[in-house]
Structure 1
Amino acid sequence: MIKKTLVTLGLSAVLAASLSAKDSLMMATTTSTDNTGLLDYLAPKFEKDTGTALKWVATGTGKALKMGGNCDVDILFVHAPASEKKFIATGFGGDRQQVMYNDFVIVGPKKDPASVNGMAPSAALNAIKEKQAKFFSRGDNSGTNKKELSLWKNAKVDAKSASSWYVQTGQGMLRTINMASEKNGYTMTDRGTWIKYMSQKGDKNMMKVVVEGDKSLFNQYSVVSINKEKCSNVKPQLAKQFTQWVTKSETQKTIADFRLLGQALFIPNADK
């Protein structure tokens, strides 16, 4: 009887581990969904509604796409539409569904040493270059970095060739904003992370938004499932489950209700 009980317990443990592994969805995502606290806010609701645990790695969108191509995750939650479409074209990704958006903003010292407040993006970036004001770039191939580089290109400025005023941090967004603040420089961030930064700094915040509102600063977030035909180890049903859950009206309202300092960090748009 004792042996039978031990065997039974052993089988139960194996089954429990198997079920636990089966009911866990692995995601690669951008730092903004993590740094803002959005995923910490959504994950327990997802598990309660579906019984599936959500686990994630937060990194730049470029690295997240590589994780998808390496078959390391089941789904991506990223914000670089052009790169996402190229990834899908490789056959590794599919079922791309938009979830929400916010916008990018350029932030700088409250004293605005380059006098760019209120300018359009191209004019502001050219002014920063002409005045040799410090600009801090993530330099990490993230969705934010990709957008920033496209804005420099639109401004006809080869920022990467600069050595004195253009600084590539290789860091996430919050650390990059902090570095810009410490060095009296500028940077570009998504608005959700900026609101998070303001909530952390409070009265000690020495930065402000100097460029915003241009249509080129639109920032779309989408989920992309990994193709099981390319990655036999992935869990397409759980990826589909999350996609359906995060785009349904109740969850979209939950995203809309996620606020800091009375401001929405992301605007749901799955139905657009």
Structure 2
Amino acid sequence: MKLKEYIPAMKAAYRLKRVPLQTLKANTDKLLPLIVTLTSIPSRLNIIDLTIRSLLNQTTKPQKILLWLNEDLRHQIPKKLTELEGDIFEIRYQKELTCSHRKLIYSLLEFPETTLVTCDDDLIYTSTWLESLYKEHQQHPNSVIANECRMICYDADGELLPYKQWKMQKDANIADPKLLPIGYGGVLYPAHALHPDATNQELFLKLTPKADDLWFKMMSFLQGTEVRRSSMPSPKPTPIAGSQKISLKKTNVRQDGNREQWQALSDHYNVKL
């Protein structure tokens, strides 16, 4: 975490911790018809309660918030996380996947007719984050909606450029086949937005073992689903202090693992955007 991010992170955490449990867990009459789904790793179990608090503190709450964890962690969950469980927030355990894809895979399998929203486990989201995504979904009900996107880029010869040269998009309300939703900002997937291969564990572990964003992007492309950057992107979420001790950034960005994995996807499906 950069030094300039530390003070805002501490302030955001302090404000969330002051919100009463009763308020966070309250089941209001008006719930958005969608499920927020995410996953986590052992090193973040002690801080993910802040992410969950921010999701429970939305101006309009979802029907469910599902946190998918490996079965091995069942008896390692801190009280400050379990005390948030209730009608809306639920921890579910599974034995198979340990990769980041599980944030969406298991919810796709269990709720195939439901709109799903993914987010990351090391961030604090603004209180209007979910309501904003849903309003965009109402305007474009068949599109994948993302707050943050990059554009998959090729050189003049049609060769895939390094991931660092895939430009972050500053323009809002845009749609393009090359648009890649970036998971940390939150991504909304309507029901049936992804190709049937989306839940094929053998394939995604082979082609994109460390890049769920790329896998789900290809699945939306194969399904013919439009990807849009929101017309009113939410403010960037606030990183949680101490959450980046373990991450995929070194492999996927610094060592250009994202380019390699997108190339593997493109070769397998014979796709060139």
Q: TM-score range by the shorter chain?
A: under 0.3
Per residue, is there more helix in 1 or in 2?
1
Decide which structure has the larger Cα Rg and report it. 1
- So what's the TM-score if we normalise by structure 1? 0.23
- So what's the TM-score if we normalise by structure 2? 0.23
Per residue, is there more strand in 1 or in 2?
1
